Structure 1
């Protein structure tokens, strides 16, 4: 297996706010809401970044659970971000726009608290999106909850 690969994404941008993204044979639209001059055809770029964190937590969470021998079932994941908008409004440069993310992960199967702590630690080590946010200075407060809680 290759240890390094090129990720390829193409974007066509027919307006100042709309980006039509193609990845492999699928795609998505990234846009701004109407009140900010967009057409609201998709999530904003910042919303998309949070969505990517949720998707990555799901994929890496299941891989880590399998490596630990845990049956976590499906995950319900939410992310709430304290976002400093001064940068995107061009008011001033902001070093850490995504200041804090509250990430809540709920397993559908019962998992012990001890196993949830182990799982969360493994996901933190291997989730590239969580690493990207943390290395940029974002604080991620994770709460892992079992269906039995």
Structure 2
């Protein structure tokens, strides 16, 4: 295992408000009001999408910078759809990219290809093993 990231999430009695600590960063997660939360922060699915969007944008920025391309801005928009059928479910993520800069069609196609190379994209599209234990 080459990289270890640790995240700690603590929830008390304040409904679904969860305090998340990642290194020296503190985030608040919650559930939307229609799920009984108070919407004080993103829900778990939004955090996953935010991680993918951040990784994709950074990967594209690194690639364009290395190539010396005129890419002023990258916008990554993600949406999630979960189709449940009994115990099974299918998850679909739509990732839409918008580029501002002087890019030709070949450069844009290369960026679309590179977007799928970001580490979080690779993690989400490959088998994941989750081990749960009490500490």
Range into which the TM-score falls when normalised by the shorter chain: 0.7 to 0.9
Deviations 1:70-127 (A, max 9, x none): 231121221122223x4xxxx843353x2x22211111212111011112222322x1
After superposition, the CA RMSD in angstroms is: 2.1
Write the mapping of 1:19-98 to structure 2, written as runs, cut at 5 A.
19-84=18-83, 86=84, 92-96=86-90, 98=91
TM-score (norm 1): 0.73
**Alignment partner, residue 8 of structure 1:** 6
Distance 2:89 2:80 in 1: 16
Aligned residue for 2:131?
none
Is 1:74–1:108's contact at 8 Å kept on the other side of the alignment? Answer: yes
Task: State the structure with bigger RCO (CA 8 A, min sep 6), 1 or 2.
Answer: 1
How far, CA to CA, are the matches of 2:88 and 2:74 in structure 1?
A: 33
What residue ranges of structure 1 are gaps of 5+ in the alignment?
Answer: 137-149
2:66 is paired with a residue whose SS is helix
- Give the number of equivalent residue pairs: 126
Look up the SS of the partner of 2:98 in the other structure.
strand
Question: Residues 68 and 119 of structure 1 are in contact (CA less than 8 Å); yes or no, is this contact kept in structure 2?
Answer: no
For 1:135 and 1:95, how far apart are their aligned partners in 2? 16
C-alpha contact 1:64 1:123 (8 A) present in aligned 2: no
Q: 2:116 corresponds to which residue?
A: 124
